Amino acid sequence: MASDPIALELFKNALLSAADDMALTIFRTTYSGVLRDNMDYSTALFDSEGALAAQGLTLPAHLGSMPTAMAAILETFEGNIDEGDVFILNDPFKGGMHLPDIFVFKPIFFEGRLLAYAATVCHHTDVGGRVPGSNASDSTEIYQEGLRIPPIKMFAGGRRNETLFSLIETNVRVPVKVFGDLRAQLAASTIAERSLIDLARHYGPDEVSRLMRELILYAERMTRAAIRELPDGVYSFRDHIDDDGIDEGRPIPLVVTITKKDDHMRVDWTGSSPQVKGAINNTLSFTKSASYCAVRSLLPANIPNNDGVFRAIEVVAPPGTIANCVLPAACAARGLTGFRMVDCVFGALAKMAPDKVFASSDGGNTCITIGGWDASRRPFIYVDFTCSAWGGRPDKDGLDGNSNIFANMASQSVEVTETEQPLEILAYEFIKDAMGPGKYRGGAPFRRDYRFLGEEAILQVRSDRRAFRPYGLYGGAPGRPSMNALTRDGERRLLPTKFAMTIRRGDVFRHEVAGAGGWGDPLERDPARVLGDVKAGLVSKERARAEYGVVLSV
């Protein structure tokens, strides 16, 4: 029986508020900068059967992957889920994505009946492995990357799994931060539990279960109706990752084919590279997440983000490929591939709906990790994710200094970073003439300069978009490539896009984010907009003339 639309709307808002409260709880209680400042975490609620019912306002990169993790828990513990249990996992080959992303699931009971599941996933500062931060792009197998946690009970009947906690404490470099962040996940789960119990008291448990199912069906109907309005056809796009950091200079193809028919869309990654040596391989769950994110961006904003959306979008990726890796593939730096997949899907969707899709972004977030030990042998690990530019859009410029659509992350505070880490930020600024020219130009990227103040540390960087620049659309030009450089004793040298190296006191590392692609013919750009960019210091007079045909006398 269909719900009263007002009752369903009220319930939907209550459920979404509960998921958002979970996100705010992590924000307020977490220990590490990568969560507190970057906000690299996500929250969600599942119904009693494990279907995703509501998402918090967090990362699309995580949220589309959550159903796979939930399914792994249900498969492992079928018939063994009790009140007071809490489940944990991070194993990419048993429901996870990469090892730093730890999932926590808490079943919510009401009067002895399983009502729902609270779900959180957080990127943890360190989970062990050969490099501080557990994020190295030059690892070549999963066994080098850190502690793998299969689906396991973190708490059983309310009692803590002391063996698991001892294993975690022994294997991570910064257990205080890791346990603090895990407690934040537990706190968020408790907040969700209180909210769901309040809803059960108000509506009754049967009605809560029915309304959750109805909300998912409602999202599916809306998604299928929106997809039906798009033109049927087959649309393909091909892009390349520069390399995997092991076989330098060897391009890695990403190929996507979208088949749209009636109310169904198939996103097929057949033709993409076999899985590679470096740690940029995707699990199928992360490939699904990237695919969902790009397609969802084309649909109306008022569709609830839940399992109903995913039911209308089929994602295919052959096992043993970069889009669906198998053991013993390394995948710590898989974020790069996921971001690039979003751009790849947008390239195909631009052929389907040219008036709705923007050009390539900066290529996804760059991961910068600096870790080591201070003079007192205390560990420090700085993890930062940097992205800053959207591609030019069909009716406006790309966003400047804004997180990638797949990430929804914030930027870490310079002052907090300098207080907590042995680092000094010397520059944090937009880069002139870096955005792709177009009728609507790409977003402006930025550069950051990091001076290391400790004795010695490992610098690990995951970046891309140097050989294959962010593409433009419909006459728009590509953005400027990314750049890494290290200055030591006054001598500056360029570095590859992916590397791990030892740095010492006084070394200055510079990363420049790639510029986003432009949309439309640059010669059609309004001269007043060109003048505004010149005044803002984003475009030089020389580039204004060369790229846009605008000659400025002042």
Per-residue pLDDT tens over the stretch 80-128? 999 999 999 999 999 999 999 999 999 999 999 999 999 999 999 999 9
Q: For the packed helices 175-203 and 205-228, what is the interaxial angle rounded to 10 degrees?
A: 100
70/38: higher pLDDT: 70
Six-digit token string for 175: 């257990």
Instruction: For residues 217 and 364, state if they share a domain.
Output: no
Domain membership of residue 170 (yes or no) is yes
Residue 541: inside a domain? no
466-518 pLDDT, tens digit per residue, is 999 999 999 999 999 999 999 999 999 999 999 999 999 999 999 999 999 99
Q: The tokens of 208 are what? A: 């809560």
Q: How far apart are CA 509 and CA 528, in angstroms?
A: 37
What confidence tens digit (pLDDT) does each residue in 354-404 have? 999 999 999 878 999 999 998 888 999 999 988 889 999 999 999 998 888
> Is 0.75 surpassed by the pTM of this model?
yes
Q: Is the pLDDT of residue 412 over 90?
A: no
In a domain, 336, yes or no: no
Asked if the structure places residue 454 within a domain, the reply is yes
Please tell me the total count of domains within the chain: 2
Q: CA 295: distance to chain centroid?
A: 15
Q: Is residue 249 part of a domain?
A: no
Range of the domain at 10: 5-132+142-221
CA distance to 59, 150, 166, per residue, from 172 (Å): 25, 16, 10
Q: What is the pLDDT of residue 548?
A: 97
Position 544 in a domain: no
Q: What is the CA radius of gyration of the chain?
A: 23
Which among 221, 240, 261 is the end of a domain? 221
Q: Is residue 404 in a domain?
A: yes
CATH code: domain of residue 114:
3.30.450
Question: Which of 162, 194, 221 is the last residue in one of the domains?
Answer: 221
The model's pLDDT over 459-468, given as tens digits with 9 standing for 90+, comes to 999 999 999 9
Number of Cβ within 10 Å of residue 336's Cβ equals 28
What number of residues does the chain have? 554
pLDDT for 3: 66
- Tell me if 20 is assigned to some domain: yes
Question: Which of 335, 316, 351 shows the shortest CA–CA distance to 101?
Answer: 335
Q: Single out the residue in 161, 187, 221 at which a domain terminates.
A: 221
